[in-house]
Amino acid sequence: MCGIIGYVGDKEIVPLLLKGLQCLEYRGYDSAGIAIHEGHHLNVIKTIGKIAKLEEVLKIKKATNGTNGHSNCGIGHTRWATHGEPSNINAHPHFDTEEKIAVVHNGIIRNYQEVKDKLINLGIKFVTQTDTEVIVQLISENLKKTKSILDAILKAVKELEGSYAIAILFKDEPDKIYAVRKEAPLVIGIGNDENFVASDIPTLSQFVDKVIRLNDNEITVVAKNAVEFYDLNGGRIKKEPQIVTKTKDILDKKGFKHYLAKEINEQAEVISNLLKDFLPNPEKPVQLNHLKLEPDFIKSIDRILILACGTAYHAGLTAKYVIENLTSIPTEVQFASEFLSANSLLTKRSLVIGISQSGETADTITAIKKAVLTGATLLGITNRADSALADLAKEHLILSKAGVEISVAATKTFTAQIAVLYLFAVYTAEILGTADKTSLIKIKQELRELPQLIDQALVRAERYQEQVIKYADKPDFVFIGRGINYPIALEAALKLKELSYIHASGYASGEMKHGPIAVLDPNVPVVSIVVSGETYERVIQNSLEAKSRKAPMIAVAIDGDKKAESIFDTVLHIPQVSEIISPFLTVIPLQFLAYYIAEELGRDIDQPRNLAKSVTVE
C-alpha cells in the first residue's frame, strides 16, 4: 500500500510527479504529497485527500508563490494509513527536525516505537504519529556522526525492522534521490538524461522503456545521468536494465464512467487472450508446458493447498471443485492470513498454489514462504510479472494476463484467475488420466466458447442496472449458492460490501436454515444463484425457505428458466451454460449488481473508502 514516485531530470517536475501519483493511486489514497529541491531548500507540499486535492493545493501554492515548481529532482507519495490517521500532518513526505531530509515510505517499521523512544531520549521532537518519521529522524541523527549520506542510510536501515521501500531527498545533494527497499517493491526507470523511481513497472512504463528492479536490501543513488547500486555493506553492485513494453496510457477509461465498468467489460477479451495462449485448440492438450513440473511429480502429488486472500481466495475456492472433480487430488483452500505451517500436513509431494492479483499481498507472500519450507512445490498465479510472488514462483508461474486493473475491487482479474485455474486442472487431469477424454474435450470446448458467452452477458448491463437499482436502499443483502457457485455467492457479497458499503454475507444455501435465516425480513434481499445442474433443485428449495420469510428475492438464472421466473421477484438472466463453467457467467450480473447499487448510492466506485488495491501489510 502507498505509492512512491521520484524523478531526476530536466522536465517540468510537478506535472510529472502528479502523473506518476495518479498511476499509483490504486495503492492508497487517503493523503498525498511531494517534496522537491527548490533553490536551496526542500519544499514539501502535502495534503489529506486524493491526488486531485494535492493538485488543487499545488495550484494554490503556485499562485501564491508557495512553490515555483522549478526543480530537477523530487519525490511523491500516495498514502494508505497504517500508523496515524489520514491527515495533513501524517501525509508523506516527512521531514527531519531541521528540514534537511525528506522521506517517503511504503511499508511498516515494526520496531518504530523502540527507535522513536531512543530518539526522543536524544531530544528529538516528533511531529507525526507515523512510523515513517523515525526513518528520517534516524538518518538525520546518523548524519551527525558521519559525513557520508550513504553510510547514514545504511546504518539506519540496519536498525529498522519491518518492510520498506523508501525514497529520500537531501537538501545538500540537490540532484539525487536515494532509495532502498526490503519486502516492498521499488523499481528504477532509466531514461535519457532523466531517471525515475516508482513502486511499480506500469507507472514507469508511462515514461521509459528500461527499468531496473531493486532487490531486498539494496540501495540506489539515482541522478540524472547515472544510477548506482549498493549492498547493505556499502559494496557496489552491478545491475542490468530490463526492457519493458511502454504501456499505453493506463489511466485511459476508454469512454467508461469508471475503471470498474471498463474492467468488467474487458472480461471476454481477457479470457480470449488466455485461451489463445494456453488452449489454442480444444482437441489438443492444454499448453502449460512452460511450467517445469515434471509429469512424475504431478503423478505423485498427495495434496494441493491453495493460499490466497479476498477475491483471489474465492477464485481458489471455485478451483477446488474443478481440480478435485477432474484430478481427484485432495485440495484445500486457506486464507493466507490463517495459514499455520504446523497444521498444514504438507509434504515434499504437495503442491502449494499461491494466487494473488498484485503478487504483493503480504499475507499471501508470508504464508507461501512458510509453506515452501515444508519442501512442498510452489505454483504461483499472479497478474504481475514484476511481483514478489512472480519472483518466489519463478519456476512454476502462470501469469493471469488480465492487464492492469486500476479499480480497487477485483473483477477481470478474478475471471482471469479462475480461467487459469480451470486450465491448470484440465492440464493436470490430462497428465494423470483421471478424467475421461470426452468430458475433458467438452470442458475445453466450453472454455473456448466462454468469450462469446461472457460478451452476451456483458451486453445486458443496462437491463441488469434497471433490475437492481430498486434494491439500493436495502441495508443488508444475503447471497446464496451451492457447490461451484457457493464461492461466487461469497465473491458477490464481497463486491457489494466493497463498492456500496452495504453489509452483505455469502452463504452455502443449505446453511441458511442453520442460523442465518434469522436475519431475513422484507428489508434483506436474498440473491440466489440457481444454475441448472446438480445443485439446482436444492438451491430453489433453500430460496423458497427465504421467500417464506418475506425476503425480497433475486436470482441469477439461465435464460428461459421459467421456474426461477415464477419464484423470484427479479431474475438476472445469463446465457445457457453448464454448471461447471457457470461461475464465469454467474459472477457477471453480480459484479454489475454491486456496481450499479454503489453508483446509485453515489459511492466512490474505483477507490472505495478504507481500501487499497495491494495490501502489503499483514
> What does residue 543 show for φ and ψ, rounded to 5 degrees?
-70, -40
Size of the site for ligand M6R (CB under 6 A): 16
Cβ neighbours of 125 (radius 10 Å): 8
**Mask 456-495, x = binds ligand M6R (CB under 6 A)?**
----------------------------------------
Q: Which position has the grid cell 548506482?
A: 228
Contacts of 548 (CB under 8 A, 6+ apart): none
Q: Which position has the grid cell 526507470?
A: 189
Q: Which is nearer to ligand M6R, 157 or 493 (by Cβ)?
A: 493
Q: Which is nearer to ligand M6R, 517 or 615 (by Cβ)?
A: 615
The span from the CA of 610 to the CA of 409, in Å, is 12
Least separation in angstroms between residue 358's CB and ligand M6R is 3
Q: Tell me the DSSP string of 240-294.
A: --EE------TT--TT-SSHHHHHHHTHHHHHHHHHHHH-S-TTS----TTS---
Least separation in angstroms between residue 389's CB and ligand M6R is 8
Binding to ligand M6R in span 410-429, by CB under 6 A: 410
> What does residue 348 show for φ and ψ, rounded to 5 degrees?
-65, -15
Among 81, 169, 312, 527, binds ligand M6R (CB under 6 A): 312
Q: Is 474 a catalytic residue?
A: no
Does residue 276 contact residue 304 with C-beta atoms inside 8 Å?
no
Q: Which is nearer to ligand M6R, 279 or 305 (by Cβ)?
A: 305
Least separation in angstroms between residue 494's CB and ligand M6R is 6
Does 309 participate in binding ligand M6R (rule CB under 6 A)? Answer: yes
Does 498 participate in binding ligand M6R (rule CB under 6 A)? Answer: yes
Least separation in angstroms between residue 363's CB and ligand M6R is 8
Does residue 314 contact residue 586 with C-beta atoms inside 8 Å?
no
Does 326 participate in binding ligand M6R (rule CB under 6 A)? Answer: no
Among 152, 502, 554, 615, binds ligand M6R (CB under 6 A): 615
Does 409 participate in binding ligand M6R (rule CB under 6 A)? Answer: yes
Burial of 193 (C-beta count, 10 Å sphere; 0-12/13-18/19+): exposed
| The one catalytic residue among 19, 155, 497, 613 | 613
3-state secondary structure of 316: helix
Does 500 participate in binding ligand M6R (rule CB under 6 A)? Answer: no
- Range in contact with ligand M6R (rule: CB under 6 A) among 30-38, 395-403, 405-413, 467-475: 405-413
**Mask 351-390, x = binds ligand M6R (CB under 6 A)?**
-----xxx--x--x--------------------------
Does 614 participate in binding ligand M6R (rule CB under 6 A)? Answer: yes
The span from the CA of 590 to the CA of 209, in Å, is 38
User: Which secondary structure element, helix H or strand E, spans residue 105, and what is its range?
Assistant: strand 101-109
| The one catalytic residue among 2, 23, 73, 309 | 2
Q: Provide the Cα torsion 556, 557, 563, 564; round to 10°.
A: 10
- Dihedral sign, Cα of residue 74, residue 75, residue 78, residue 82: negative
Least separation in angstroms between residue 500's CB and ligand M6R is 13
Does 334 participate in binding ligand M6R (rule CB under 6 A)? Answer: no
The closest residue (CB) to ligand M6R is: 310
3-state secondary structure of 90: coil
Does 137 participate in binding ligand M6R (rule CB under 6 A)? Answer: no
What HEC string does 493-540 produce? HHHHHHHHCCEEEEEEHHHHHHCHHHHCCCCCCEEEEECCCCCHHHHH
Q: Which is nearer to ligand M6R, 297 or 335 (by Cβ)?
A: 335
DSSP character at residue 551:
-
Q: Which is nearer to ligand M6R, 54 or 362 (by Cβ)?
A: 362
Least separation in angstroms between residue 393's CB and ligand M6R is 13
Q: Which is nearer to ligand M6R, 406 or 410 (by Cβ)?
A: 410
Does 267 participate in binding ligand M6R (rule CB under 6 A)? Answer: no
The span from the CA of 436 to the CA of 258, in Å, is 44
Q: Which is nearer to ligand M6R, 310 or 506 (by Cβ)?
A: 310
Q: Is 158 a catalytic residue?
A: no
Q: Which position has the grid cell 488495491?
A: 613
Sheet containing 31-38: which strands, arranged edge to edge? 41-48, 31-38, 73-79, 3-8, 195-198, 187-190, 210-213, 242-243
Least separation in angstroms between residue 517's CB and ligand M6R is 27
- Range in contact with ligand M6R (rule: CB under 6 A) among 403-411, 419-427, 464-472, 573-581: 403-411
- Range in contact with ligand M6R (rule: CB under 6 A) among 149-157, 242-250, 286-294, 309-317: 309-317
Residue 584, C-alpha cell as written in the block: 464465469
Q: Which of 89, 75, 100 minimizes the C-alpha distance to 3?
A: 75
- Range in contact with ligand M6R (rule: CB under 6 A) among 68-76, 279-287, 304-312, 343-351: 304-312
Catalytic site residues?
A: 2, 613
Interacting residues toward ligand M6R by CB under 6 A: 309-312, 356-358, 361, 364, 408-410, 498, 611, 614-615
